[in-house]
Structure 1
Amino acid sequence: MPIRFIPVAEIHDPLTIALGISGGSGTGKTFTSLRVARGIAEAITGKKGAPIGYVDTENKRALHYKAAFPEMAHFDFTAINDDGELVGFGPERWIEVIDAAEAAELPVLIFDSFSHAWEGVGGVLDLHAQVLDRLVQEAQKRANGRYDVDPAKFSQLAWAEVKPRYRRLIDRIVRAKTNIIICTRAKPVMQAGFGDKAKNARKTKTRRDDVPWDPASDADLMFEMTAMIILDPIAPGCPVHQIKVADQFKNLFDPRKPMSEATGAAMAEWAKGQGGAQKQKETMDLAREKARGGSEAFKAWWAGDEGKLARNIVRPIMEEIQKICADADAAALQTDDDPFAQGRSDEEHGDQHNGTEDVAAAA
C-alpha cells in the first residue's frame, strides 16, 4: 500500500481524549470521573444524558452513583468469569473491553480502577512474577544442582516477555476511537524533611519532589495520556498535582476548584477542534517570550493593554514565568570578563529577588 502524507487541512476527524486521574482513597476519583465523562459525552454527541461507559473493578462501587448518573452503562469487571474460573486482569481482557465499547459506540469510557491491570491478579506485575518463576525453574533444571541459580538475573528476560503485551494495551488506549478516562489508585510516598522542606525520600525517573503520591501504574501510561493529574485528600476532586498538563489545558485545571462537567465539555471542544486552546497556548508562549527579557520587561508588558488582556490565560503558568524572569535577571548580571560567572551571590543582588516578587504580586 503506497504511503500518502495528508495535508492537515484535509483532516477533519476529531481527536480523542485519554485523561488520567489518580488519587488515594477519599480523593473523589469515581465521582469526579463521572462528572468529567458526562461533560465529554454530552459535548461530543450534542445530547443530554449521552451514555457513559463504566468499567468497574471495585466491587460495583460506581453503582453508588447510579441515581445521580442514570446514563451510566455499567460493566462489572471481575477477576473471575461466569463459570467461576480465575481469569485475572491481563492486558488482553482490557483490550476486549475497549473493542466492546467502540462496538457499542459509547462516546466515553471510564476505567476504575486501571491499577488492576498493573498490580491486580493477572496484571502486569503478577504476570512478571509468573514468568520469572518459570524461567528460574527452567534454569534450575538445566543446572541440575551443579551451581546456584540467581533469580535476579532472569528479571529482565521476564519483562521482555510481559512488557510487549502491556504495550499493546497502552497502544490500544491511545488509538481508541472513544474517549477514555483512566482512574488509578495512588499511594503516599515516604517523605524526607518536614513542612515546606519535605521532599520525596526516594527519586525515580517519573517521581517529582513536590508530589507525595505515586500512581499504581507505570510511566508508559502516564506519558501517553492527553493529561494526567493526581488528586489529593486535602481537596477532593481538585487537580492539585498536575503531572502532565499541556498549555492547551492549563486553564481547565484549577487546583483550587473541583473538576466538573465543564472540564469535560471544554476538553471535548478541544478534541473537536472548536475550542480556543491553540490561542491560549500562543498567549502563554508570548508571555514566556516577554519574561525572557527579565522582570522589568515582563512587568511593563503585564501593565500594558496586551498584558491586561492576557492575564487570566497566563496566571496558571505564573510560577514558570517567575523562574524565567529570575534566570533572565541573573544572566543580565553576568560579566563578559569571567566566562564562568553565574551572576552575583544572593547578598550582592537582593534586588533581583524583589523583582520576581513584584512579578508574583502583579499576578
Structure 2
Amino acid sequence: MGVIRFIPVTEINDPLTLSIGLSGGSGTGKTYSALLMARGIAEVVTGRKGAPIGFVDTENRRALHYKQDFPEMVHFDMQAVNDAGEMVGFGPERWIEVIDAAEAAKLAVLVVDSFSHAWEGVGGVLDLHATTLDRLTRGDDSKKDARSQLAWAEVKPRYRRLIDRIVRAKTNIIICTRAKPVMQDFKTKQNARPTKTRMKDVPWDPASDGDLMFEMTTMVILDPSAKGCPVHQIKVADQFKALLDPSRPMSADTGRAMAEWAMGRGEGRNQKAVLDEVRIEARKGREAMSAWWKANPQHRALAATIMPELQELAEAAERRAQQATSDNPFADLPPAEGGAEGDSMTPEQRAEYEAAIANMREAS
C-alpha cells in the first residue's frame, strides 16, 4: 500500500481544469458557443492565440461547418461504426479512450458534441441497460420491472467511471448535450414532472444523467429565444454569476475569464466574496439589504445577478421575525407575496417595498 501524504496547499500550484456543460435544443448555438469558449480557454492556458481546440464530433461532422471560423480546430469524427464496418457504439469505455487521447495530445481544451450519444446513442447507457435487461430476463417481459435495478447495477458503475474520468481530466472539457422540450402544466406554466435533471421552471430536459450535470464546473441550458445565452442556469458558481449573463451570448472572453479563474487569477474570488456579503445582509431582512444596496453602488450589477435569491432571503427573515413576536408558537409563517391572508404589511407598505425592489432592478 502506498504512503498517504497530505500536501500543504501552498505547495500545490497546478491550475484547475474546467468541465463546462452546454445543453439545448437544435439551433440554440451550442456548437458555436462551445468553440468560442474553447478558443478563449486555449489562449489563456497556452499563452498564445490560435492554440489547438480538440473537437469530438458525433454529429456527422457538423462541426466542420465552422472550420473557416476556427482553423485551430483539430477534429475527430466519432462514429458508431469503425473503419472495418464493425459496430463499436458509444459505450463509456470508448469515451474514456477519447479523453486519454486528448491528454496524450496535450490539448488545452476538448469540445465534445454531442455527449448525448453516451447516454442515449447506440451502445450508450440506455442501450446498455436495455440489452442487459434482455439478458437477465431472457426475453420475458413480465420480469423486466423486477430486474431493472439489477441491470442498472451492471451498467451504472461503467458510466460512473466515465464521469470520474471527466472530473479528473487534465484537460479542460466542454460537453454539449441535446435537450428536449418538457411538457408544461397548463395552469402553473411549470414542468408537470420535475426531476433531479428537470427543474420546475426550466422548459428543457437535457439528454443526459444528473450524475453528469452536477459534476460539471458549470452547467447551463440554452434556449431558442436567445441563441448562445446561458438562459437556464442549472449550476453556476458565484465566481461566474456576473460572467454568465442570461441576456448576453457566451464568447471567447467568457472562456478566457473562466480559464483565468481556474489558474488562480481574475476577479472570480472577489466577486464571490461580494455575493457572500450581500447574502449575509439579506438574511437580516429588507432594511439591512436595502442599506447594503445604497452603500455599495459599485457592486449593484453583481448583486442583481442573484436578486431573486436575495429577495427570498430578506422575505424569509421578515417572516421569521414576525413569527418570533407572535403569541402563537404554532402560527404559520406569513406568505412572501403581498395580498394574501396573513401578510402583515399594509397596502401602502407593500407598494413602497415593491417600488424599492423595482428601483434596485432599474439601477442594476
Same fold (TM over 0.5): yes
1:116-155, Cα deviation, whole Å (9 max, x unpaired):
00000000000111110011118x6xxxxxxx95221111
- Residue 339 in 1 paired to residue 329 in 2? yes
| 1:74 aligned residue | 75
2:286 is matched with which residue: 272, 295, 311? 295
1:36-68, Cα deviation, whole Å (9 max, x unpaired):
100100011110001000000000000000000
Contact 2:197 2:206 in 1 (8 A): no
1:195-227, Cα deviation, whole Å (9 max, x unpaired):
xx4011112233211100000000000010000
* One-letter amino acid of the counterpart of residue 242, structure 2: N
Cα displacement (A) at 1:96: 0.5
| 1:326 aligned residue | 315
* One-letter amino acid of the counterpart of residue 163, structure 2: I
Q: Which runs of 5+ in 1 are unaligned?
A: 141-147
1:309 is matched with which residue: 298, 301, 308? 298
Distance 1:76 1:277 in 2: 36
- Residue 215 in 1 paired to residue 206 in 2? yes
- The 5 Å alignment of 1:1-363 reads 1-137=2-138, 149-193=142-186, 197-304=188-295, 307-334=296-323, 335-344=325-334, 345-350=341-346, 351-352=349-350, 354-355=352-353, 357-363=355-361
Q: Say if 1:166 and 1:213 are closer, same or farther in 2 by CA, change over 3 A.
A: same
* One-letter amino acid of the counterpart of residue 160, structure 1: A
Cα displacement (A) at 1:179: 0.2
RMSD: 1.6
Distance 2:205 2:181 in 1: 6
Distance 2:182 2:351 in 1: 32
Cα displacement (A) at 1:356: 5.2
* One-letter amino acid of the counterpart of residue 220, structure 1: D
Q: Say if 1:347 and 1:15 are closer, same or farther in 2 by CA, change over 3 A.
A: closer
Q: Secondary structure at the match of 2:201?
A: coil
Distance 1:87 1:264 in 2: 33
TM-score for both structures, normalised by structure 2: 0.93
Distance 1:310 1:73 in 2: 41
Cα displacement (A) at 1:309: 2.4
Q: Which moved further from structure 2: 310-319 or 225-234? A: 310-319
Cα displacement (A) at 1:346: 4.8
Q: Secondary structure at the match of 1:329?
A: helix
Distance 1:353 1:90 in 2: 58
Distance 1:357 1:63 in 2: 51
* One-letter amino acid of the counterpart of residue 7, structure 1: P
Distance 1:164 1:352 in 2: 53
Cα displacement (A) at 1:313: 1.9
Q: Which runs of 5+ in 2 are unaligned?
A: 335-340
Distance 2:355 2:317 in 1: 14
Q: Secondary structure at the match of 2:45?
A: helix
1:270-300, Cα deviation, whole Å (9 max, x unpaired):
1000122111111101001111121122112
Distance 1:343 1:290 in 2: 21
Distance 1:6 1:356 in 2: 51
Distance 1:360 1:322 in 2: 12
| 1:144 aligned residue | none
* One-letter amino acid of the counterpart of residue 243, structure 2: L
Aligned residues: 351
Q: Secondary structure at the match of 1:224?
A: coil
Q: Which moved further from structure 2: 326-335 or 103-112? A: 326-335
Contact 1:325 1:356 in 2 (8 A): no
Q: Which moved further from structure 2: 46-55 or 348-357? A: 348-357
TM-score for both structures, normalised by structure 1: 0.93
* One-letter amino acid of the counterpart of residue 136, structure 1: T
Cα displacement (A) at 1:336: 4.1
Contact 1:24 1:187 in 2 (8 A): yes
Q: Say if 1:308 and 1:317 are closer, same or farther in 2 by CA, change over 3 A.
A: same
* One-letter amino acid of the counterpart of residue 264, structure 1: G
* One-letter amino acid of the counterpart of residue 146, structure 2: K
Cα displacement (A) at 1:10: 1.3
* One-letter amino acid of the counterpart of residue 123, structure 1: G
Cα displacement (A) at 1:352: 4.9
